[in-house]
């Protein structure tokens, strides 16, 4: 992805240092964050300095590789096992995180050169993530007609993956191939990933868009102003139920009411074949301060956080909800477009 004319990925590794775009500062400031050890990388994932399913996975894989590099030779197994458990706890809903950590851990632990194998596998996961997103874009573009008005929720663009993204990848493809597309961007409270990140991404590319209040999506559907809904996923159960950013469920229910196609875009690494149904997925609850306070820049350009609710209030802040398979038109994967049911999911994940 280009930013100010330069090519960037969301996350990468230089030597033993994990580098990534500091997403908590966007869209007001573009900065590269550098993390020198697995604990620092884990904190960055938990604090959402880096966020999004694929980006979390790649960063977690790199964190696991850092742990192998840091482990004392005489207690390597114990050290990396503790590190694995620590990385697991950073974002418990995210399937890609577990997928990446397990792959690096299992590949490296019993190898002749654990440090080398861990690093090699982590890089491989990141490359696969970028390629998977590219393929999702090609498959998903087939669904987008010229002059489509598309609704997104949260951010599942290139910032949420190593490159290209999932929900936005088909939109980018359609735009670059000359299709006239327009994107309605849910603001996505409480953190505003739509208003801040998706809008910023679309600006970089030049795709026309409008930010809308979260509560306006169903209204626009009722007016016939939305043709197509596409969202990402953080974990997909084997029955087709999808965990995604809080608010996804209400978009899916409204889309069904108004006969609007509702698509989920995700690589195979997001599918959890050991998870039977959505109710088995752990829903991460984040700090109430994310609801009670709002971040932004002052008139003087200073990034700050202000209390935006009644003083003394408490808040409930689930980060995700579960959209049942019955509300999903299809799932766009890196191996093709499938129905959200157990048979299709088991078939494609066996490939």
Angle at 224 between CA 320 and CA 221, to 5 degrees: 20
Nearest to 53 by CA among 151, 162, 137, 128: 162
Looking at the fold, whether 43 and 162 belong to one and the same domain comes out as no
- The total number of structural domains that make up the chain: 2
Residue of 129, 76, 104, 167 lying closest to 268 (CA atoms):
129
- Count H helices and E strands in the chain, helices first: 12, 18
Q: What is the pLDDT of residues 213-250, one digit of tens each?
A: 999 999 999 999 999 999 999 999 999 999 999 999 99
Instruction: Give CA–CA dist 283/228, Å, rounded.
Output: 27
pLDDT band at 94 (very low <50, low <70, confident <90, very high): very high
Judge if 215 and 319 occupy the same domain. yes
Of 30-34, 48-52, 57-61, 297-301, give the lowest mean pLDDT range: 297-301
**Single residue among 133, 156, 178 that ends a domain in this structure:** 133
User: Are residues 14 and 101 both part of a single domain?
Assistant: yes
Give the pLDDT score at 265. 98
The mean pLDDT value of the chain amounts to: 97
Question: Whole-model pTM?
Answer: 0.95
Going 11 to 15 to 16 to 22, the CA torsion angle's sign is: negative
Q: What is the CATH number of the domain that holds 113?
A: 1.20.120.420
Do 184 and 217 touch, CB atoms closer than 8 A?
yes
Shared domain for 25 and 127, answered yes or no, is: yes
Identify whether 234 is a catalytic site residue: yes
Of 133, 150, 167, the last residue of a domain is 133
Q: What percent of the chain has pLDDT over 90?
A: 96
Range of the domain at 261: 142-349
Bridge partners, 306 (sequence order) = 294
| Four-residue CA torsion sign, 185, 186, 188, 192 | positive
91/108 same-domain check: yes
Which among 99, 133, 167 is the end of a domain? 133
Q: Which of 129, 163, 186, 234 is catalytic?
A: 234
The two beta strands, 228-231 and 262-265, are parallel
- Judged by DSSP in three states, 336 sits in strand
330-333 vs 262-265, strand pairing mode: parallel
């Amino acid at each position: 992805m280009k930013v100010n004319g330069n090519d960037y990925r969301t996350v990468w590794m230089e030597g033993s240092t994990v580098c990534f775009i500091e997403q908590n500062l966007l869209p007001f400031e573009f900065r590269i964050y550098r993390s020198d050890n697995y604990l620092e990388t884990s904190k960055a994932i938990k604090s959402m300095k880096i966020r999004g399913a694929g980006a979390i996975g790649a960063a977690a894989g790199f964190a696991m590789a850092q742990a192998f590099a840091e482990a004392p030779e005489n207690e390597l197994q114990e050290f990396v096992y503790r590190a694995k458990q620590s990385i697991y706890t950073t974002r418990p809903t995210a399937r890609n995180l577990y997928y990446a950590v397990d792959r690096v851990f299992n590949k490296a632990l019993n190898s002749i050169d654990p440090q080398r194998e861990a690093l090699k596998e982590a890089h491989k996961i990141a490359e696969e993530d970028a390629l998977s997103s590219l393929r999702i874009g090609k498959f998903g573009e087939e669904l987008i007609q010229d002059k489509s008005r598309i609704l997104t929720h949260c951010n599942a663009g290139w910032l949420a993956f190593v490159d290209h993204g999932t929900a936005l990848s088909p939109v980018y493809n359609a735009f670059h191939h000359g299709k006239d597309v327009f994107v309605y961007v849910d603001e996505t409270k409480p953190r505003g990933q739509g208003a801040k990140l998706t809008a910023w991404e679309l600006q970089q590319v030049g795709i026309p868009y409008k930010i809308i209040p979260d509560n306006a999506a169903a209204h626009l559907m009722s007016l016939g102003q939305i043709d197509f809904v596409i969202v990402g996923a953080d974990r997909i159960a084997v029955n087709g139920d999808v965990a995604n950013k809080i608010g996804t469920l209400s978009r899916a229910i409204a889309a069904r009411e108004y006969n609007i196609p509702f698509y989920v875009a995700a690589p195979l690494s997001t599918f959890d074949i050991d998870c039977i149904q959505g109710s088995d997925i752990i829903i991460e609850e984040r700090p109430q301060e994310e609801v009670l306070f709002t971040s932004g820049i002052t008139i003087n350009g200073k990034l700050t956080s202000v209390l935006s609710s009644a003083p003394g209030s408490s808040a409930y802040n689930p980060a995700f909800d579960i959209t049942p398979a019955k509300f999903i038109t299809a799932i766009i994967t890196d191996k093709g477009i499938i129905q959200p049911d157990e048979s299709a999911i088991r078939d494609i994940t066996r490939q």
